[in-house]
Chain A
């Protein structure tokens, strides 16, 4: 079991190192090493507050994306929704062409400054990878398994809950992992729309030409991304280990 968690542990370690480097004293030392005078760094408390807010916003977005993406993915793979597929694929392709920054920018005039435009961008940008991942995972379930369940007299709901979803689980977790990395990155971009996230010190540092908060923000954002990715990767390997044992 433990050797399965090794890749996740490696990513976790990278995240932890980045997090340590974002600490004001260590970051100030790095900035001094770069030949810049360290000034007006962020305290560890401020960094932690920003990280908490960042994580909260990203988690809320991810939850919405998971519910909508999984729901739509399940809906689209039902037989009755087959005619909708072409239209949904078209919109999915179009939505992928809009980068997260542009999503945040477009949401800004509709929702004003702060968290809401970021949340809208999170949902709009994250839903398609989850939808595609869900459809892919559900379509990879072998028709034999479905037919066998049908022959046993399962209702369509039972087939979905007891055959399709459990068999598609590793693919679903993978899709969520992609969405999580996207959510952390999009939330960082949300700083441009005035959301207070770990992107805020980066943007402010770029504007004031102040390297220390910029570096701290960059390291902390990367740390958060790696730590969250490690958690979901660990979850994914536990899920597949569970499957292998069955």
Chain B
């Protein structure tokens, strides 16, 4: 009897806490949407703009956004787990889409009577409200516990973005104008960025395998590899440029091989150096993760060492290996940004150009693909990790 009433009061308390968290979130969202600048209208791309708040909008799109989000919160708090979570994710995605389209429409309306150099940038209110909606969506996905819902939501939002962009609804937003002017540069930068971070992984993988084969030097390798992590990337890149320039001077033949102090090579080496720790540690853990009993059994049925490696150790360690690769990939994509500092190109160059010109939208144009690439890599590789785990455990 007592247990039951305890259980009921716990459940009651949890529901109360969930609804108070929802109220808190709703309050934040209302404040972001109605008190902060949603758009900044400036005479050109470099001057600071005049803020436009929700009350100055020509249509009711912000009201609709708020309505959809609040409906999502209410459904999340009242409906059962799966149903409530699923519907809420849909409503939050729709709210975000209407927010973006509403801002695109408002930008078009406002800029119609202004000179062509005028710009409409997304304001701080938009970014904060987006973060708020992202947090709501994260909470609903966590509550729904439906496999693949996160991926589905991300794809839906990407689809909305692409449709809105092709439909021309966002054409007057400064970010889209900035993109239209630099399409070629951006595409090349993305390719360079992927090449740089992929190349560093390709460089670091065999090095990590060789290091993990050196069993007697495990202590030293561990110290060196984790010591590298302590060195700030700016310092390592700067130091490598100095070293490589000295090396090229001492051995001019290297210059003919395409090695130069500024350019992709020092960046590749620098990034690869940071990837050694996750990869080396992952390989070590993966190879040790097989149960000694399983190894004994494999030996007993007469498998050779190579067969044991291929048929027992690698499959059992696969999730750990993929996990290490995931950490290394995300790290590599981030570090490649800094490569632009030493002339390696990539998306960092667009970010640095934006910083030099003090043009916020140019910075965003470089930053958004970096973040999107890291998130995509993280999501894809953690899905792979989970499927490895499910497959080999079964």
Contact of B137 among A90, A181, A203, A211 (CB under 8 A): A90
**A93-104 interface code vs B (CB 8 A; 1 in, 0 out):** 110111111100
A181 / chain B contacts, CB cutoff of 8 Å = 229-230
Given A102-B367, A109-B363, A215-B238, residue A36 in contact with residue B341 (CB < 8 A): no
Q: Which of B139-147, B200-208, B277-285 contacts A (4 or more CB under 8 A)?
A: B139-147
Residue of B nearest to A223 (CB): B235
Residue of B nearest to A189 (CB): B234
A222 / chain B contacts, CB cutoff of 8 Å = 230-232, 235-236, 239
B360 within 8 A of A: yes
A106 within 8 A of B: yes
Shortest CB distance A203–B (Å): 7
Given A191-B234, A221-B232, A226-B230, residue A80 in contact with residue B17 (CB < 8 A): yes
B330 within 8 A of A: yes
Shortest CB distance B186–A (Å): 15
Residue of B nearest to A110 (CB): B124
B22 / chain A contacts, CB cutoff of 8 Å = 83
Interface hits, B236-265 → A, CB 8 Å: 236, 238-239, 241-243, 245-246, 249-250, 262
A14 / chain B contacts, CB cutoff of 8 Å = 227
A81 / chain B contacts, CB cutoff of 8 Å = 17, 21
* Residue pair A90, B134 in contact (C-beta under 8 Å): yes
Shortest CB distance B223–A (Å): 7
Contact of A206 among B230, B238, B366 (CB under 8 A): B238
Given A87-B25, A181-B229, residue A211 in contact with residue B242 (CB < 8 A): yes
Report how far A214 CA is from B341 CA in the complex, Å.
12
B138 within 8 A of A: yes
B230 / chain A contacts, CB cutoff of 8 Å = 11, 181, 222, 225-226, 229
Contact of B238 among A34, A110, A184, A217 (CB under 8 A): A217
Chain A interface SS verdict (over half): helix
**B285-313 interface code vs A (CB 8 A; 1 in, 0 out):** 00000000000000000000000000000
Interface hits, A50-88 → B, CB 8 Å: 79-88
Report how far A97 CA is from B337 CA in the complex, Å.
12
* Residue pair B338, A189 in contact (C-beta under 8 Å): yes
A229 / chain B contacts, CB cutoff of 8 Å = 230
Report how far A192 CA is from B137 CA in the complex, Å.
34
A35 within 8 A of B: yes
Shortest CB distance B261–A (Å): 9
Interface hits, B314-371 → A, CB 8 Å: 330, 333-335, 337-338, 341-342, 348, 351-352, 354-355, 358-360, 363-364, 366-367, 370-371
**A142-172 interface code vs B (CB 8 A; 1 in, 0 out):** 0000000000000000000000000000000
Report how far A203 CA is from B342 CA in the complex, Å.
9
Given A83-B18, A84-B21, A203-B341, residue A97 in contact with residue B375 (CB < 8 A): yes
* Residue pair B249, A35 in contact (C-beta under 8 Å): yes
Given A34-B249, A102-B371, A211-B245, residue A225 in contact with residue B231 (CB < 8 A): yes
* Residue pair A214, B138 in contact (C-beta under 8 Å): no
Report how far A219 CA is from B364 CA in the complex, Å.
32
Contact of A192 among B131, B143, B355 (CB under 8 A): B355
Report how far A44 CA is from B136 CA in the complex, Å.
52
B14 / chain A contacts, CB cutoff of 8 Å = 82-83
A238 within 8 A of B: no
B378 within 8 A of A: yes
Contact of A35 among B232, B250, B341, B342 (CB under 8 A): B250
**Closest A-B pairs by Cβ, 7 of them:** A90-B138, A34-B246, A86-B142, A99-B334, A87-B135, A185-B232, A109-B360
Q: Which residues of B contact A (CB under 8 A)?
A: 13-14, 17-18, 20-22, 25, 124, 131, 134-143, 223, 227, 229-236, 238-239, 241-243, 245-246, 249-250, 262, 330, 333-335, 337-338, 341-342, 348, 351-352, 354-355, 358-360, 363-364, 366-367, 370-371, 374-375, 378
Q: Which residues of A contact B (CB under 8 A)?
A: 10-11, 14, 31, 33-36, 79-91, 93-94, 96-102, 105-106, 108-110, 181, 184-185, 188-189, 191-193, 198-199, 202-203, 205-206, 211, 214-215, 217-219, 221-222, 225-226, 229
17 A–B pairs (Cβ distance < 8 Å), ordered by A: A80-B13, A83-B18, A87-B139, A89-B138, A90-B134, A93-B378, A99-B337, A102-B370, A102-B371, A108-B358, A108-B363, A206-B241, A214-B238, A214-B241, A217-B235, A218-B239, A222-B236
